[in-house]
Amino acid sequence: MKRTDRRRLPTGLVASAATLGWNAVINRVIPAPAYVPANLTAAGLSLTTARRWQVPAADMGLSRDRLAGGVQLGLAAAAPVAAVVLLGAAVPATRRWFLDERGTTGGAGYVLYHSLVRIPLGTAVAEEAIFRGSLLGLLLQRHSRMRATAVSSLLFGCWHVLPTLDTLALNPAGVAVGDGLLRTGGAVLGAVLVTTVAGVGFSWLRFRSGSVVAPMVVHAALNGSAFVAARLVCSGRR
């Protein structure tokens, strides 16, 4: 595979900084109703920029001949992932981690919007296009698969710092971690570690199928099943 001249601008570093910068904007500036179009626009711009920086479509998981394989692997992996999440909500020992005030918010319209729009499009499609599409593709121009996966996955973990801080008070199980800085630090560190590992798994799906669609499908299934599980657990406690 042809690699970019190392003397050129470190585009991976620029893209990484831009990604974390956008994370601050989407969590602190963009209003909630604009979340989906704003995140999808950012994802589209990131892919377009990577292509302008001459990153091959195959390195971003965008090859048309791999699309069907991506869908197939994504669906095959999504089923057990969703099953594990729902099982976690059913087992008493882990059920408390699904207690979330957002699980009691809104009616049918709210559930449909989050299940069919915000989670699959605004989160799964947008984030996978950024992390397993453009960013991973850029990193592959200078680094091995292992290093590119490690860097993009760690950045994916850091991407979840602000959302964790914003939602920590909504889950009473977080109190078990401790109080004050200990509780906050433990929750943030845990979120970063878990999502970094998830990023490694999503990257494996991307490489295994050759398509970014595979992690998109599994990411949507993971977040969607967690949302449904939270609704079920919270409704069962009313």
Determine the pLDDT at residue 2: 45
Q: Residue 1 is encoded by which pair of tokens?
A: 């595979």
pLDDT at 4 (0 to 100): 45
Residue 184's pLDDT is what?
81
Q: Taking the domains of the chain in order of start, what are their residue ranges?
A: 11-43+57-236
pLDDT of residue 180: 65
The CA-atom distances, in angstroms, between 140 and each of 18, 143, 153 are 17, 5, 13
Per-residue pLDDT of the chain (238 residues; tens, 9 = 90+): 444 444 445 788 899 999 999 999 999 999 999 999 999 999 999 999 999 999 999 999 999 999 999 999 999 999 999 999 999 999 999 988 888 777 778 888 999 999 999 999 999 999 999 999 999 999 999 999 999 999 999 999 999 999 999 888 776 555 454 456 777 888 899 999 999 999 999 999 999 999 999 999 999 999 999 999 999 888 766 5
Provide the whole-model pTM. Answer: 0.92
pLDDT at residue number 236 = 67
Max Cα distance, the chain (Å): 61
Per-residue pLDDT at 226: 94
Q: What whole-number distance in Å separates Cα of residue 163 and Cα of residue 28?
A: 10
How is the chain classified by DSSP, letter by letter? -----TTS--HHHHHHHHHHHHHHHHHHTS-GGGHHHHHHHHHHHHHHHHHHTT--GGGGTB-GGGHHHHHHHHHHHHHHHHHHHHHHHHSHHHHGGG--GGGGS--HHHHHHIIIIIIIIIIIIHHHIIIIIIIHHHHHTTS-HHHHHHHHHHHHHHTTHHHHHHHGGG-GGGGGG-SHHHHHHHHHHHHHHHHHHHHHHHHHHHHHHSBTHHHHHHHHHHHHHHHHHHHHHHHHT-
Q: Residue 6 CA to chain centroid, in angstroms?
A: 29
Per-residue pLDDT at 147:
97
Which pLDDT score, from 0 to 100, does residue 34 have?
98
